[in-house]
């Protein structure tokens, strides 16, 4: 684990208020129309971001307005970005923390550290980067006794990783099988495909990709690797396609989508990391602090939803018990009863936002807690 601490110099303060939230909730109908005069582009929607020369889509933070309103950052506060990635959310947040604020960014990808260095040179708040998986980094911060006013996760892989072909995350073009978020770790998708037995492969595809044809795909992988190693993304795509019935190949998106998701999750222990990180992040929050999570598939969203709902739950005694015997009191107030989803406008500007779901909760103060 390596830690980088960078203090930025003074820069112009950003707007004090965030735009009013224009949101769509699952099953709640059309998006709320923003007030007159606030119909400009979403953050990052116009041209490439100043962090490097990548394309527009790679630097468009998902649900940025909605996340900022839920976090409600104020000058002088401390924020933890648990998944820095391209830095889109962090840049917007840093502008609102001001010179007296502090931003701690976490990511295990060395490319993210390079992008963070550019952000640090352009923002007024104090900044710190921890190159590590977020569970380990949050453990480090807890050991230091840190307290924060907000923490958030933008889960899954970043556009930066998808668009770097040699990282092997995408099924859309040929590249070496890799999928490591930290290129220094030993386990890669190539090792998983080459060495894990059929039963273990099927388990991964079923549990992490919710793949209906997990068993057939696992068998096809084992049969093909007995003939020759599977070392590229397109070789794996061909193997997956051969195991899926023809009618199913054209339903529900790309036939390799779920398998690639499953392998990526297994290689990077994404769900294990999240299970460890959520309580750690919650423990770092001060009273009144906010924890938020943006997820892109049901396995992530389910974990965030259950964790926040559990913190907001009070008595767990049987309903027929006349007096509470458990003594359990709620620790949180949910800020999103349903997940917040991108508007049609945002999806049109950034199709990668389509499956995003945002949830958040605020830690109750002593005054708000039940007596």
Question: Is the residue at 131 inside a domain?
Answer: yes
Q: What is the mean pLDDT of residues 234-243?
A: 96
Residue 7's pLDDT band (cuts 50, 70, 90): very low
Q: What is the mean pLDDT of residues 300-311?
A: 96
Residues 340 and 351 in one domain: yes
Residue 4's pLDDT band (cuts 50, 70, 90): very low
Residues 147 and 276 in one domain: yes
- Residue 13 pLDDT more than 50? no
Residues 248 and 283 in one domain: no
Question: Is the residue at 122 inside a domain?
Answer: yes
CA pair distance 267, 181, nearest whole angstrom:
9
Question: Is the residue at 166 inside a domain?
Answer: no
Task: Supply the range of the domain harboring residue 222.
Answer: 184-269
Among 269, 303, 330, identify where a domain stops.
269
- Residue 225 pLDDT more than 80? yes
Residues 98 and 143 in one domain: yes
Residues 265 and 296 in one domain: no
Report the share of the chain in percent with pLDDT over 90: 67
Residues 147 and 26 in one domain: yes
pLDDT in tens, 120-132: 999 999 999 999 9
Residues 86 and 212 in one domain: no
- Residue 20 pLDDT more than 60? no
Q: What is the mean pLDDT of residues 47-74?
A: 68
Residue 32 main-chain phi, psi, to 5 deg:
-70, 135
Residues 190 and 259 in one domain: yes
Q: Give the pLDDT confidence score for residue 251 in this predicted structure.
A: 74
What one-character-per-residue DSSP string does 29-56 give? -SPPPPPTT--SPPTT-SS--SSSS--T
User: Which range, 10-14, 275-279, 319-323, is most confident?
Assistant: 275-279
- Residue 183 pLDDT more than 80? yes
Question: Is the residue at 110 inside a domain?
Answer: yes
Residue 21's pLDDT band (cuts 50, 70, 90): very low
Question: Is the residue at 368 inside a domain?
Answer: no
Residues 242 and 333 in one domain: no
Q: What is the mean pLDDT of residues 95-110?
A: 96
Q: Give the pLDDT confidence score for residue 12 in this predicted structure.
A: 33
Domain count, the chain: 2
Residues 215 and 313 in one domain: no
Residues 88 and 11 in one domain: yes
pLDDT in tens, 135-177: 999 999 999 999 999 999 999 877 777 777 778 788 888 999 9
- Residue 371 pLDDT more than 60? no
Per the listing, tokens 């068998």 go with 219
Residue 247's pLDDT band (cuts 50, 70, 90): confident
Question: Is the residue at 174 inside a domain?
Answer: no
Among 254, 269, 284, identify where a domain stops.
269
CATH code, domain with 212: 1.10.150.170
Q: Which residues does 56 contact at the CB level (< 8 Å), separation at least 6?
A: 44, 45, 46, 47, 48
Q: What is the mean pLDDT of residues 229-247?
A: 94
Q: Give the pLDDT confidence score for residue 8 in this predicted structure.
A: 33
Q: Give the pLDDT confidence score for residue 47 in this predicted structure.
A: 36
Question: Is the residue at 283 inside a domain?
Answer: yes
Q: Where are the alpha helices (DSSP H) in the chain?
A: 64-71, 88-97, 110-120, 134-143, 159-163, 189-195, 198-209, 214-227, 233-243, 246-249, 257-268, 270-284, 298-312, 344-349
Question: Is the residue at 370 inside a domain?
Answer: no
Residues 84 and 199 in one domain: no
Residue 46's pLDDT band (cuts 50, 70, 90): very low
Among 251, 269, 287, identify where a domain stops.
269
Residue 320's pLDDT band (cuts 50, 70, 90): confident
């Amino acid at each position: 684990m390596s830690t980088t601490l960078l203090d930025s110099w003074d820069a112009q303060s950003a707007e004090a208020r965030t735009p009013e939230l224009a949101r769509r909730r699952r099953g709640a109908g059309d998006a709320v129309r923003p007030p007159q005069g606030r119909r400009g582009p979403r953050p990052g929607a116009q041209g490439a971001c100043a962090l490097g020369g990548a394309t527009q889509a790679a630097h468009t933070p998902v649900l940025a307005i909605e996340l900022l309103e839920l976090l409600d950052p104020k000058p002088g506060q401390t924020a933890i970005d648990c998944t820095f990635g391209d830095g889109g959310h962090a840049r917007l947040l840093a502008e609102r923390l001001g010179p007296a604020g502090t931003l701690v960014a976490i990511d295990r990808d060395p490319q993210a550290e390079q992008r963070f260095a550019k952000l640090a040179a352009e923002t007024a708040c104090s900044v710190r980067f921890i190159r590590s998986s977020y569970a380990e980094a949050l453990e480090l911060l807890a050991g230091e006794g840190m307290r924060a006013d907000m923490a958030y996760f933008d889960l899954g892989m970043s556009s930066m990783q998808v668009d770097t072909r040699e990282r092997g995350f995408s099924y859309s073009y040929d590249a070496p099988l890799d999928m490591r978020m930290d290129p220094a770790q030993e386990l890669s998708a190539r090792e998983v495909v080459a060495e894990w037995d059929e039963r273990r492969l099927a388990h991964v595809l079923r549990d992490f990709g919710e793949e209906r044809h997990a068993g057939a795909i696992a068998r096809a992988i084992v049969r093909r690797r007995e003939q020759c190693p599977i070392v590229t993304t397109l070789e794996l795509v061909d193997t997956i396609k051969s195991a899926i019935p023809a009618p199913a190949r054209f339903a529900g998106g790309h036939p390799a989508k779920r398998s690639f998701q499953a392998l990526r999750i297994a290689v990077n222990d994404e769900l294990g990391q999240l299970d460890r990180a959520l309580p750690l992040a919650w423990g770092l929050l001060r009273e009144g602090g906010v924890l938020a999570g943006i997820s892109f598939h049901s396995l992530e969203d389910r974990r965030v939803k259950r964790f926040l709902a559990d913190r907001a739950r009070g008595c767990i005694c049987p309903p027929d018990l006349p007096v509470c015997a458990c003594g359990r009191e709620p620790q949180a107030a949910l800020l999103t009863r349903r997940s917040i989803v991108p508007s049609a406008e945002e999806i049109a500007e950034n199709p990668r936002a389509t499956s995003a779901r945002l949830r958040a909760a605020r830690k109750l103060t002593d005054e708000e807690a039940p007596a």
